[in-house]
Amino acid sequence: MANKDTAILILAAGKGTRLKSSTAKVLHKAGGRTLLEHVIRACHPLGAKKIIAVIGHQAEKVADIAEALDVEVVLQQPQNGTGHALLVAKRAIGNAKYIIVLPGDAPLVRTETLRALLAKHRKGNAAATLLTAVLADPAGYGRILRKAGDTVAAIIEESQLAPEQRELNEINSSIYCFTSAQLWPALAQVKPDNKHREIYLTDAIAILSAKDGTVLAEIAPDAREALGCNTRADLAGVDRTFREWKREELMREGVTIQLPETVVIDPDVKAGEDTVLEPCVQLLGKTKIGERCVIKTGSILHDMVLGDEVTIEPHCVMTSSRIDDGVIAGPFARLRPETHLKKGARVGNFVEMKKSTIGEGSKVPHLSYIGDTKMGSKSNIGAGTITCNYDGFHKYPTSIGNRVFVGSDSTLVAPLRIGDGAYIAAGSAITENVPADALGIARGRQATKKGWASKKRRELAGANAHSKPAKAKRKKKR
């Protein structure tokens, strides 16, 4: 259902003093996204008339995120409290009948919960409806003072709790639904009666309730949805929850995850059925993995696209590249952006690749650097082969055909073309093109000197005997 009578306001102007950071609070990340982005994404499906973010600290950076997600911004300067933030946004909110308010630092809230909050508010004809949660440790949060049954008398900030109120463990999430016609007059009466001299939105609740407006409370189905991120410890806790939810999603879709609490998966990652993730794997960015793949321990994949039945051996680091069906890569392989390993290719240990295509069934099994290279199918690159693609000023391409055999420890100085079926002798420094089916050899000729070694040994043994006579005699006396 679209909610065209509703405006959504996200409070995102604060600095986040308790984080001790030069980055504004809502720009901090948890679960692979900024806090602000999480909140905006939860709001979008509600189909509200508009979404507005109140911004202040690092306004430009915060606005970039908001505007990219179709959110209008209003500047609050200086930041005189959560109630003041609403007053600043009053004109932008316009004539919306209802206003949903969310803090930019409570990123775990879900769309269904916001929907239920708004539905309860409409049905109860309330002046305000609060999302609350019952926490084992409510420290740091405003507490809910209940009136009768479902209704609320006031929110009391932690600093203003009377001793007997410290036991209250139902907290204010700072997520509210208001009826505009009742909110604005109440907010006009709020005074900055606190040590920070701020206008607290929370103080409007007691005013609404006293005026016979109904203030309802909806308890969050999962208390974690109400958690704010005021400290680094809060951020870590929220991040843990997001990661847990994402792993559970992939497991529901048929992915095996070993020691799940050690595996980090970003929100946009996808993985197919019967894929196995070993402990300490990280799947980041927009990584997409096919079916029946195995990603072994310690591997980090960022913006990677993998086909089916791919094996990534332990401790690979791979970014922005494509791997087709049946490829085996690693252990300790590094793929830098724009690399493409075609079907059945094999990339082995301590191999680095950049902007290169490795054709079907080709192998680069050991200790190589392959950059700016196009390689055909069924070629074999010996251990230690290096493409020299950079002269300190420019990058140059290397082209290797089909069924090429490059002997170990070759350096291929680009620009270079090696034709189909060619051979490169081991240890060559190849600087000229090698045509199809030719042998390229570029190294000093070997000289073999018969009997040289035994003669050398005799000479050395003789010299030794002359230099240590005294020692030998001493030994004999004993």
Q: Give the interface with Mg ion as residue ranges (CB under 5 A).
A: 105, 228, 230
Q: Let me know: does 220 contact 108? Beta carbons within 8 Å.
A: no
First to last CA, the chain: 106
Which region among 77-85, 128-136, 178-186, 423-431 touches ligand UD1 (by CB under 6 A)? 77-85
The CB density around residue 174, as the number of other CB atoms within 10 Å, is 23
**Least distance CB 14 / Mg ion (angstroms):** 7
| Residue 369 touching ligand UD1 (CB under 6 A) | no
Task: Give 215's strand partners.
Answer: 128
Interatomic CA distance for residues 15 and 12, integer angstroms: 9
**Least distance CB 18 / Mg ion (angstroms):** 8
- Which of Mg ion, ligand UD1, none does residue 434 bind to, with CB < 5 to 8 Å depending on kind? none
Q: Let me know: does 170 contact 121? Beta carbons within 8 Å.
A: no
Interatomic CA distance for residues 386 and 392, integer angstroms: 16
- Which of ligand UD1, Mg ion, none does residue 51 bind to, with CB < 5 to 8 Å depending on kind? none
Interface residue with ligand UD1, options 82, 209, 275, 387 (CB under 6 A):
82
From residue 439, give the alpha-carbon distance in Å to each of 358, 378, 397, 406, 415.
21, 17, 21, 10, 18
Burial of residue 249 (CB within 10 Å: 0-12, 13-18, 19+) is middle
Backbone angles phi, psi at 356, to 5 degrees: -135, 150
- Which of Mg ion, ligand UD1, none does residue 325 bind to, with CB < 5 to 8 Å depending on kind? none
Considering beta carbons, is residue 55 or 367 the nearer one to ligand UD1? 55
Considering beta carbons, is residue 93 or 277 the nearer one to ligand UD1? 93
Positions 21 through 40 that interact with ligand UD1 (CB under 6 A): 25
| Residue 440 touching ligand UD1 (CB under 6 A) | no
| Residue 107 touching ligand UD1 (CB under 6 A) | no
**Least distance CB 65 / ligand UD1 (angstroms):** 13
Q: Where are the alpha helices (DSSP H) in 171-312?
A: 180-188, 203-210, 232-252
Which region among 80-88, 354-362, 397-405, 417-425 touches ligand UD1 (by CB under 6 A)? 80-88
Which helix (H) or strand (E) element contains residue 460?
helix 452-467
- Which of Mg ion, ligand UD1, none does residue 157 bind to, with CB < 5 to 8 Å depending on kind? ligand UD1
Which region among 102-110, 234-242, 353-361, 415-423 touches ligand UD1 (by CB under 6 A)? 102-110
Binding residues for ligand UD1, how many (CB under 6 A)? 30
Among 38, 57, 84, 366, the active-site one is 366
**Least distance CB 100 / ligand UD1 (angstroms):** 14
Which helix (H) or strand (E) element contains residue 33?
strand 33-34
Active site (annotated) includes residue 366: yes
- Which of ligand UD1, Mg ion, none does residue 82 bind to, with CB < 5 to 8 Å depending on kind? ligand UD1
Q: Let me know: does 290 contact 305? Beta carbons within 8 Å.
A: no
Considering beta carbons, is residue 53 or 327 the nearer one to ligand UD1? 53
Helix 35-43, helix 59-68: angle, nearest 10:
30
| Residue 12 touching ligand UD1 (CB under 6 A) | yes
Q: Let me know: does 107 contact 228? Beta carbons within 8 Å.
A: no
Helix 111-124, helix 35-43: angle, nearest 10:
50
| Residue 11 touching ligand UD1 (CB under 6 A) | yes
Interatomic CA distance for residues 365 and 384, integer angstroms: 9
Please give the residue whose beta carbon sits closest to ligand UD1 in the complex.
Answer: 142
Considering beta carbons, is residue 80 or 214 the nearer one to ligand UD1? 80
Considering beta carbons, is residue 82 or 287 the nearer one to Mg ion? 82
Interatomic CA distance for residues 118 and 133, integer angstroms: 16
Interface residue with ligand UD1, options 58, 230, 356, 389 (CB under 6 A):
230
Positions 161 through 200 that interact with ligand UD1 (CB under 6 A): 171-174, 200
| Residue 104 touching ligand UD1 (CB under 6 A) | yes
Considering beta carbons, is residue 33 or 342 the nearer one to Mg ion? 33
Q: Let me know: does 361 contact 377? Beta carbons within 8 Å.
A: yes
Interatomic CA distance for residues 405 and 439, integer angstroms: 10
Closest C-alpha among 65, 4, 72 to residue 29: 65
**Least distance CB 237 / ligand UD1 (angstroms):** 13
**Least distance CB 181 / ligand UD1 (angstroms):** 22
Residues lying near ligand UD1 in the complex (CB under 6 A) are found at: 11-14, 25, 54, 76, 79-82, 84-85, 103-106, 141-142, 155, 157, 171-174, 200-202, 228, 230
Catalytic residue ranges: 366
